[in-house]
Structure 1
Amino acid sequence: MQEHHNGQGITPRRVITTDESQKLSQPKVCSACKAAMYCSQVCATQAWKVPKMANSQTHKDLCVDNKRHMLRVPEFEAVLAQFPWGRVEKDGSFNADIARGRYKVLGGKGFGFWSHRGGPLAHLPSGTMAEAAVSGGTHGRIAQQIAKFFDYVDGTPLLETKHLTDRAGWKLEPELIPFHTFSSLWEPPRLASKVTITDWDSWYSWRRLPKESPAALIMDFPMSVYWLLVHTLQVADPKAGSPDGPRVQLKVHYVGAETELNFLPLFAELALLLPYTDITVVFFGKAVQTIVSTAKESHPKSLAAQASPTTPIFSYTAPEESGAGRIQLFLHGTSDSWTPADADATLSAYGVPSALVAPNAGLGSYPSWFPVILYAHQMQLPFGVTEYTEQSCETQQLIFPRILESEVSMPGSIMRGIPGAPDAATTRRAASKNWEYPIEMNPFQRPGQRPVPTKLPNVPSGFAMRVVGK
C-alpha cells in the first residue's frame, strides 16, 4: 500500500499498488474447509482472527464445523440436478430468477402466484435490521434503501376480491401445473395415505408432474410445512384419518409469513396430503399486518379486508377420492407477529395450535424471536422451523438453553412487561428439561444454492429443526 498525503500532513486514504490490485482480483477459498470465500489473501488473513461483527465468531472458530458441513454439498447438488432447469453457475450457485425467466414468470405485480418483491433481501427489513435503521445503524439504513427499489407489497393478490384460479395463478402450460381444481382432463392425485411422499421426486410422481415443471420453486413453502408437521414434529400423519372414523383436527400457527402471502391458494396442497383431516392455518407477521391494514383502509371489499378470527380468507376441500381433506387459512392482522404478549387472546380466538411453524425463521438473528422461543419451551408447544444453513441451526442449539437460563436467573429479563407470562416455577421446569434440537436436511427445500459468498449449503428452507417437540 502507498500512503497518500495532502498538504496538511493528513492521510485520508491509501492507494492500492498494481501488485496488490492483482492480488485483490484473485478470490481466495479457505484451503482447510473449502467453504469460506474471500476477495484476497489479506481479507482471508483478517477473517481468521477478526469477527465480521461484534460478538460473532471468527473463521478460526468456524473452520472445523465448516469442513463437516461441506460434506453435505453433494446431497444439495443432487436436489437441484434432478430438474432440467437446474443450471449451476460458475460459483456453484443457482440463479432462480433465470430459471423463472425461462417460463416467463419473473416479475413483480401481475405474475400470478409468482409475483414477488424481488431484490437481494431475503426478508423485509424488519426485526434487527429495522431496529438498526431506526437507531442509525448502517446495515439497517442500507436495507431500507434497497427495499425502496423493490416496492411490490407481499400479499398484493389479497387486495383483490377473488383468489386466482390454478391456470391464472401458475401461468404455465397445463401439464406443468399441480392443479387443485380437477376435471376429466386433470385427475386428482391418489389417496396420500396409500403412497410415500418424502422428497421432490416422490411428490412430482404423485402429482403426475414432469420435472420440467418449475413448481418446486414456490411449492417449497407448503411442502416444507408438510415436512415439519409430519416428520419433524410428528403432529400430523397422512394415515391418521379414515373415511369411517372421526376427522382429524390440526391447527397450525404460521409465524413470519411474507412471500407466502402471494400464493396462499397453494397451501391447499396440505388438504391433499392429509386425508380426512380438518386443517386450520393462521398466518402471523409484519407483512400480514400490513396487507390487512391496507385492505381495511382502501380495499374494503377485498379478500384481506374480510380477515378475522371467524372468517377464513381461503378455504378448500380436496376431492373425495383424494381423502376430502379440508383447509382454512386465516390472517392475523391485529399485531405484527405471534407474541406471548397477546397469546391468551390469540389462543382464545383461534384455538390452541397443534404446532407453531416458521420457514426460514432466523431464530438466532432477531431478538424478537426470544420471547416466542421461551414461551414455546415453557408451554411445551410444538415448534418447528426451517433455516438456510446448518450453521445457523447449530448456533441456535447453543442459544436456546441460554434463553431459558437467563429467564431463570433473572426472572422477567425476556418476558418483562408481557401480560400472562408463565410463572417462575413453569420456567424452572422448562429449563430443567433435557431438550434436544435435532437438525436434518429438508427434502422439500427450494432447490439450488443461494448466490452468497460461501460454498456451504445455503438454500431456502434447506434445514429443518425441531425447537420444541411433544
Structure 2
Amino acid sequence: MECAGKGRGTRCLGPPRRRCDRCGAVAYCSSSHQILHWNDHKEECKRLEQQMKCVDVLNDFPFTFSQEATLQVLEKKETRCLFLSKRGVHQVGMWLYECCCGESVTSSDHSSRSNDVWHLPRILCPCNEPVSPISKQLSSWKDYYEWRCIPLHSPVALLLHWPLTIYHATQAVLGSSNPEIRDKLYIHYLGPEKELLQLAVFTELHALFPGVHVHIELVGPSIPQNRDGERINLFNYAHCLEADCICKSLSENLSWDVPTSRTSKVTLQLRRGFYHDRYRDIAKDFSPHLVIAPNAGIAAYASWLPTIELIKEINVPAIFSDYCEEACHLGACCISTVTGHPLTFPIQINPFRQPMVVENSALFLPCYSNCFLFGI
C-alpha cells in the first residue's frame, strides 16, 4: 500500500503507517502528507468510514480456510502462493493465474488441454453432474457447496466465483422463471482477463442452468488477436485428478472448433476489442438478455464511457462488479453522469465473491474479486 498523499510536493518519508483517524481506510507516510491530502480526502472520508463498518461482513465466509484467506493474507502472514501450494494447486492448470507467479502468462500460451483440469480429487471439485437438480435459488457459498456435495475445505470457490457471479446476476436481474431464458440465455461478458486461462470453469453453467443453452460472448481488448472469433463448446465438466472417475469417460472436455455432431449447452465466443466497437457485429446473431462486466473499474478507464452510452441505447440490463465498495461508488457516479439516471440495481455485496482477499490493495478496505455488484 502506498501513502495516500504520495506526490504531494515532497517525497514520502517512509512506509504509510499513519492511518486516517476517522475512516481508517487510507494511510500516510507523515502528518504533512496527510494535511496536504485532506482537501481531496475530506469528501470521501465519511463514505469510507461507513464502508469500513462492513469489514466483518466482507470477511465472512463458511470455509475452513476463511481466516487463512482473509485476515492472514491482510496481515501478510499468508500469501496466495503459499495457500495454493499447501493444496497442491500452485501454478497448475486453471490455477496458474491465481497468484503473482502467473502474471506474465497470456491466454495464448496454453491450449485447452493444459488447463481444463481441477488438479484435485473428485470429492473436492464439481467434475460431474450434480447429485440432484437445484431445488432452491442458491444464495451463498454454503448453499452451493451443500448442493454440490463439496466439503468446505475445498478451494474451488477461488475459481467458481466467475460462473457463480453470472448465476447470481442472472437470478437477481432476470429471475429464475423468466420465459425468455427458459431455453436460451445470451450474455455479453465484458473485459475478460484471467478468465481466459480458466475457461473450463464455465462448464459449471451446465449445472447452474440445467436444460438451458447458455451462450456467452466474451468481449475485450485482452483477448489475443489470434483468438479473435474463436468459438469454444463446453460439453462436460472440468476433470478431477482420479483416472477412474466418470469425468474421464469422454475424451474431450473442451472442443475448440472441432466438428462434432453433439450440441453443446454452453458455448463461448471470443471477440477482441471494446464492446462499443464490436457490438454491431455481435448483435447480428442475437441480442443479449444481460450484459455482465466483472471487476470493471469503470472510473479508472475512459473507454467505459462509450460502452455505457451503448448499453443505455440498446436498453439491456447490465451488471458490473468491482473489488471494493468505493470502486463501485465511483463507477456508479460515472454511469449516472452518462445516463442521467441513478442505478436500477444498487450497490450490494456479491455472496459469490472470491473468498481470498486481494493482496496490496490501495485502501485498507478488504478487496475481493467480484466483491460488489451494481447495475443499470
TM-score normalised by structure 2 residue count: 0.80
Q: 1:210 to 1:15 in 2, by over 3 A?
A: closer
Q: How does 1:432-443 map to 2 (within 5 A)?
A: 436-443=344-351
1:394/1:15 Cα in 2 relative to 1: closer, same or farther (>3 Å)?
A: closer
SS of structure 1 residue aligned to 2:268: strand
Moved over 6 A (4+): none
Query: How far did residue 97 of structure 1 move?
Result: 2.7
Size of the alignment, in residue pairs? Answer: 340
CA drift of 1:222 comes to 1.2
Residue 439 (structure 1) shift:
0.7
Q: Which residue of 1 aligns with 2:83?
A: 99
How does 1:200-349 map onto structure 2 within 5 Å?
Answer: 200-231=141-172, 234-237=173-176, 247-292=182-227, 307-308=229-230, 312-316=231-235, 326-332=265-271, 335-339=272-276, 341-348=277-284
**2:356, 2:368 within 8 Å by CA — same for their partners in 1?**
yes
Closer, same or farther: CA 163–226 of 1 in aligned 2, 3 Å: farther
Give the drift of 1:215: 0.6
Instruction: Provide the secondary structure at the position in 2 that maps to 1:287.
Output: coil
Q: Cα distance, 1:373 vs. partner? A: 0.4
- The equivalent of 1:76 in structure 2 is 58
| Residues 1:113 and 2:49 are matched in the alignment | no
- 79-88 vs 29-38, which moves further: 79-88
Alignment correspondent of 1:177: 125
* CA distance in 2: counterparts of 1:39 and 1:15, whole angstroms: 9
How far apart in 2 are the matches of 1:338 and 1:90?
35
Query: Which of the residues 315, 326, 341 maps onto 1:391?
Result: 326
Structure 2 CA distance for aligned equivalents of residues 90 and 274 of structure 1: 34
State which structure, 1 or 2, has the greater radius of gyration over its C-alpha atoms: 1
Q: Which runs of 5+ in 1 are unaligned?
A: 1-13, 50-57, 121-148, 183-187, 294-306, 405-430
Tell me the amino acid that sits aligned with residue 258 of structure 1.
Answer: E
- What is the one-letter code of the residue matched to 1:216? A
Residue by residue over 1:26-45, the C-alpha shift from the partner in whole angstroms, topping out at 9 and shown as x without a partner, is: 71111111221223333322
Contact 2:123 2:150 in 1 (8 A): yes
Where 1:223 maps in the other structure, the secondary structure is helix
1:25-104 correspondence to structure 2 within 5 Å: 27-49=17-39, 58-79=40-61, 82-83=64-65, 85-86=68-69, 88-89=71-72, 91-92=74-75, 95-104=79-88
- Could you say what secondary structure the match of 1:67 adopts? helix
Matched, 1:463 2:367: no
8 Å CA contact 2:291–2:318 kept in 1: the answer is: yes
Structure 1 residues 256, 173: closer, same or farther in 2, change over 3 A?
A: same
Q: In the TM superposition, what whole-angstrom CA distance separates every residue of 1:90-144 from its partner, at most 9, and x where no partner exists?
A: 744773332112123222xxx1111228539xxxxxxxxxxxxxxxxxxxxxxxx
Structure 2: segments with no counterpart, 5+ residues: 1-9, 238-245, 247-262
AA in 1 matched with 2:89: V
Whole-angstrom CA distance in 2 between matches of 1:215 and 1:155: 24
Amino acid of the structure 1 residue aligned with 2:87:
Y
- Normalised by the length of structure 1, the TM-score is 0.65
Percent identity, aligned pairs only, is 22
Indicate the RMSD between aligned Cα atoms, in angstroms: 3.1
Counterpart of 2:356 (choices 438, 448, 454) is 448
